[in-house]
Structure 1
Amino acid sequence: MKIRTRLTLLFTLITAMLLGVYSFSIYYSSKEAREKSFYSELQNEAIAKADLFFQSSLPEQEMHKLYKNNNRTLNEVQVAIYDSGHQLIYHDDVKVDYVKETPEMLSRIFQQKRISFFLDQLQVIGMIYHHSGKSYAVTAAAYDKYGYDYLSHLLTISIISFISILILIYLAGIFLSKKALSPLSEMVNQIKRITAGKLQLRLKTTGEKDELNELAQNFNGMLERLENSFDSQKHFVSNISHELRTPLSAIITELELASEKDLPKDQYQQTIRYALDDARNMVKLSNSLMDLAKASYDPNEISFSEVRLDEILLESYTKIIKENTGYKVSLHIEDHVEEHQLIIQGNEYLLQVAFNNLIDNACKYSPEHMCSINVTVNTKKLYISFSNTGVSISQEDLQHIFEPFYRSETSKREKGHGIGLFLTQKIIHLHDTAITVVSDHNTTVFIVIFDIA
């Protein structure tokens, strides 16, 4: 069932319930009011008949005649009068006695002074009437034809109005829900046109501050991220293909040349060394890609725990020195840095990958192959700087230094794939941390900034 239909039915149902309660209240109130009003009329008629009987000179036969004449056109009230000894002294029509008063009923009237009740469809009232120091029991009974006709008419009108209003409410609900949800229908039609090849399309937004406009804006934001992700993937795959093709082509060429010619032993060994260098280069690229894949996981899927930054730096320091005997690395932690300030929530493996890249990058592009690491604290922030001396990075290159596979003209002299700094930045951002770079006066400094308690 569509939302439009569901909303219309729900709106109609709620309206029907409220209208039903209102109609029932009106009908019940009218019914109670008719009943009380007619009892009051019966009492007035009983008093009038009693006054007429006791205080006028009108003969009883004339009163009977008057009752019968009125009864032909109106529902005349039938009145009976009894004395304190329960003896009937007047009755409008003894032959057609509606009430059929019993001694028990008359006793109740004398005891309670006034009673009222229903007798089938008749309403009956009994009351005490005083005349000349004596008390009489007067009963009056009649059928409220006009009152019941009014109630029947009211019920008919209520039912017709109820059904008519529900139909109008349902039609109005369809119209209003269609009009209210038309932007959503238009949004669905626009979404249907968006495919993997048309991610540049966007939903139309308005200046309204409503939920649908907010949904369109958030959906456009998601499309923007998807488009960027698709473009990055295309760029990434293209660069990966290029990076893998180069060493593979070199290995194939070297091995083909070696297999087609009869070469001395030392040249075969040289060919093997070249192939091994290219293979190691591919292994480094493969490892970098695996690390990049791990850093690209959803942060909720990466396990974080308490880690010590000084221990991770020492492990990176040891690993770089062991793998590159010509590299020189110095680590200095300032005295005012407290032990608890070096403990953060992070992923030890990924942080070591990031620090390894920064140390290796600093040593690789330094003429002395030296990297200086300095750890300091200032205003609830921990700073880890990786600095080296050498040719400064140009401002133009600094703007692209964290882009994947980007390599400046100066960096192309060294082996690399342009993944390290991009990977490092992703890892740092996964830890809600910042990284900056400053390069001038032949000195380059990468600074990683951690928030501490």
Structure 2
Amino acid sequence: MKIKDRLSLYFTLIGSGILLAVMVSLYISVYTIVHNDFYTHLNDRANVAAQVYLKADEISPDSLTQVRNRFSKNLHGEVTRIYDDRNSAAFIKDDEQYWQEKTIKNVRRYKHLEYANQNRQVVGNYYKDNQGNFVILVSAVDQTGKRQLDSILEAMIVVFLIVTITLFLVSRWLAQSTLSPIKSVVRQMQLIKSTNLHLRVDEGKGKDEISELANNFNRLLEHLENAFELQRTYVANASHELRTPITSIIGEVELALNKERSPGETKKTLQLVLEESERLRDTISGLMELAQVDMDYTIAQQSPIRMDELLWDVQAYWVNKAGAEALQINIEHMPDDEAMLTIPANYQLLFIALNNLIGNAFKFSSQQPVKCNFYADEILIRMQIVDSGIGIPKEDLDLVFKSFYRATNSHNFVGSGIGLYVTQKIIQLFKGTLQVESVEGRGTAITIQFNRN
């Protein structure tokens, strides 16, 4: 059964159950009122009978006439009997003893009695009179009350059926309207394949569970897209980037073996082989780093990482590698609450990302000192890595984050063009942003920012 059908059924059952309970309570109340009212009428008939037969000598003739007129107007199926001390019928003949002695004795015992016998209602009163002690029993059928109750019951059944059907139709429409965004999300999900993982599901403008579902699905798509892109990048570029330096090395060595060369030419060949080997080493290192990020990207275990402590760890690494003054950290602002320095991330991946940026800064500034400005408050954490190197041409700024892409002025430096691509993927994984500002010939500033909102 579909969710909308279940919701319609549950809503209808709950609504109908409440309505049925209300109607049953109302019917019982009306039934009680009608029966009690008829008992009052029977009690009046008993009092009138007492006045006609027992009090006739105590009231005026006019009053007696009025009482007898009232007594002559019988109720439907009315039976009235008066019994004396011997439980024998008095005043009104009763050849077949309409009421049993047990009933008469109960009236004498309790002084007043009301009960129902099938569709008849009975009232019994005990009277003390100067002529003796009498029991008056009156019985009748409340035909008018029964018709009223039957009419009310029929009306309730009709109303119940109409309301139940209306509840089902309305609840089905509400369920369909409420779940229509889910159907839209499902239709959009069906369009997403491995070849178009860049597509996203519309999250809408609400903040309900459906928007949350769409948001989490989009996050999953983002992870999958990045993982697929990393794999495609690795496969597509590894062979080309490895083949080029190896082909160059083989060609130079074959040429050196096939022809006698002077020491200067031999040295030049060896220098070329060395450069290509270093390029090959850097490419392999970059590809291994890319493979590591690819492996960890979708399964990266996140934990609270203090960004200031991570930065000090990176500085310690570069102090050992490039000297005490190589990486200069400038603390611009720190929050009062140390918890504001923490973000959920993976330590190893963030270390790789920062290391790539700082390594590039040293490389393209010919090992000149690099600055890192650190700012943190209750809203954001920002790190800006600034160098005074060759900078990036304006036309290359939008391309430097592509895999294996190298700026036009960087070909004299050893590298593979993987570092910034890997760094951007890592920063995006942890909901950060990466911005590059550069002036060719004057230096580059790369800013990492994590917003808490």
The Cα offsets for residues 195-247 of structure 1, whole Å up to 9 and x where unpaired, read as 344567777898x8696995797599669848964667656654444323323
Change (3 A) 1:36 1:201: same
**After superposition, what is the alpha-carbon deviation per residue over 1:254-295, rounded to whole angstroms, capped at 9, x for unaligned?**
57x379958789969949757744542342222331354367
- Which 10-residue stretch deviates more, 235-244 or 376-385? 376-385
- Secondary structure of the 1:75 match is coil
Percent of aligned pairs sharing the same letter: 26
Distance change in 2, residues 1:387/1:131 (3 Å): closer
1:14 is aligned to 2:10: no
Query: What is the identity, as a one-letter code, of the residue corresponding to 2:22?
Result: Y
Deviates more, 1:272-281 or 1:407-416: 272-281
1:174–1:96 distance in 2 versus 1, CA, 3 Å: farther
| 1:370 and 2:371 aligned | no
CA deviation after TM superposition for structure 1 residue 6, in Å: 1.2
* Separation (CA, whole Å) in 2 of partners of 1:164 and 1:116: 39
SS in 2 for 1:138: strand
Check if 1:42 corresponds to 2:42. Answer: yes
Cα pair distance change 1:35/1:334, threshold 3 Å: closer
> Residues 329, 284 of structure 1: CA spacing in aligned structure 2 closer, same or farther, 3 A cutoff?
farther
Measure, in 1, the Cα distance between the counterparts of 2:419 and 2:432. 17
1:7-406 paired onto structure 2 within 5 Å: 7-54=7-54, 55=56, 74-82=76-84, 88-100=89-101, 104-109=105-110, 112=111, 114-119=112-117, 121-129=119-127, 136-148=134-146, 150-152=148-150, 154-155=152-153, 158-159=156-157, 162-163=160-161, 165-167=163-165, 169-170=167-168, 173-174=171-172, 177=175, 184-185=182-183, 188-189=186-187, 191-197=189-195, 214=211, 218=215, 225=222, 229=226, 234=232, 237-250=235-248, 253=251, 257=254, 261=258, 270=270, 276-277=277-278, 279-293=280-294, 296-297=297-298, 301-304=301-304, 307=309, 309-319=311-321, 330-332=326-328, 349-366=348-365, 369-374=366-371, 386-406=385-405
Paired with 2:431 and 2:191, the residues of 1 have a C-alpha distance of 37
Q: Does 1:4 find its partner at 2:4?
A: yes
Question: Which residue of structure 1 lines up, in the alignment, with residue 65 of structure 2?
Answer: none
Note the C-alpha offset of 1:150: 4.6
Q: Deviations over 1:28-56 (max 9, x none)?
A: 12321222022111111112222222428
CA distance in 2, matches of 1:424, 1:37: 89
Aligned-pair RMSD on alpha carbons?
Answer: 5.0
Contact in 2 for aligned 1:99/1:124 (Cα 8 Å): no
- Return 5+ residue gaps in structure 2 as ranges: 62-70
Q: Does the 8 Å CA contact 2:279/2:415 hold for their aligned counterparts? A: no
Contact in 2 for aligned 1:79/1:141 (Cα 8 Å): no
Give the deviation of 1:82 after TM superposition: 3.3
Alignment partners' CA distance in 1, 2:160 and 2:338: 75
- Return the alpha-carbon distance in structure 2 between the equivalents of residues 5 and 234 of structure 1: 44
Cα distance change on mapping 1:78 and 1:215 into 2, 3 Å: same
Aligned residue for 1:419? 418
Q: Distance in 1 between matches of 2:3 and 2:96?
A: 70
Residues 351 and 144 (structure 1), Cα distance of their counterparts in 2 relative to 1, 3 Å cut: closer
How many pairs align? 425
Structure 2 counterpart of 1:288, one-letter code: E
CA contact (8 A) 2:333 2:375 kept: no
Distance 2:313 2:419 in 1: 21
Question: Are the structure 2 counterparts of residues 184 and 284 from structure 1 closer, same or farther at C-alpha, using a change threshold of 3 Å?
Answer: closer
Distance 2:201 2:354 in 1: 42
> What is aligned with 2:68?
none
| CA distance, structure 2, for counterparts of residue 6 and residue 29 of structure 1 | 34
Q: Classify 1:94/1:100 alpha carbon distance in 2 versus 1 (closer, same or farther; 3 Å).
A: farther
Q: Which residue type is aligned with residue 421 of structure 1?
A: L
Distance 1:181 1:353, change over 3 A: closer
SS at match of 2:45: helix
Distance in 2, Cα, partners of 1:280 & 1:162: 83
Shift of 1:414: 1.5
Distance 2:129 2:208 in 1: 80
Change (3 A) 1:2 1:79: same
What TM-score do the two structures reach when normalised by structure 1? Answer: 0.70
Of the structure 1 ranges 45-54 and 375-384, higher mean CA displacement relative to structure 2 is found in: 375-384
Q: CA deviation at 1:410?
A: 0.4
1:190/1:385 CA distance change after superposition, 3 Å: closer
Contact 1:99 1:141 in 2 (8 A): no
Question: Does the 8 Å contact 1:4/1:174 carry over to 2?
Answer: yes
TM-score, with structure 2 as normaliser: 0.70
**Contact persistence 1:310–1:342 (CA under 8 A):** no
Q: Name the CA distance, whole Å, in 2 between partners of 1:104 and 1:253.
A: 132
CA shift for structure 1 position 89: 3.1
**2: distance between equivalents of 1:182 and 1:436?**
40
Seen in structure 2, the aligned counterparts of structure 1 residues 429 and 74 have a Cα distance that, compared at 3 Å, is: closer
Question: Which stretches in structure 1 are left out of the alignment for 5+ residues?
Answer: 58-66, 322-327
Counterparts of 1:224 and 1:350 in 2: how far apart (Å)?
20
CA contact (8 A) 1:331 1:372 kept: yes
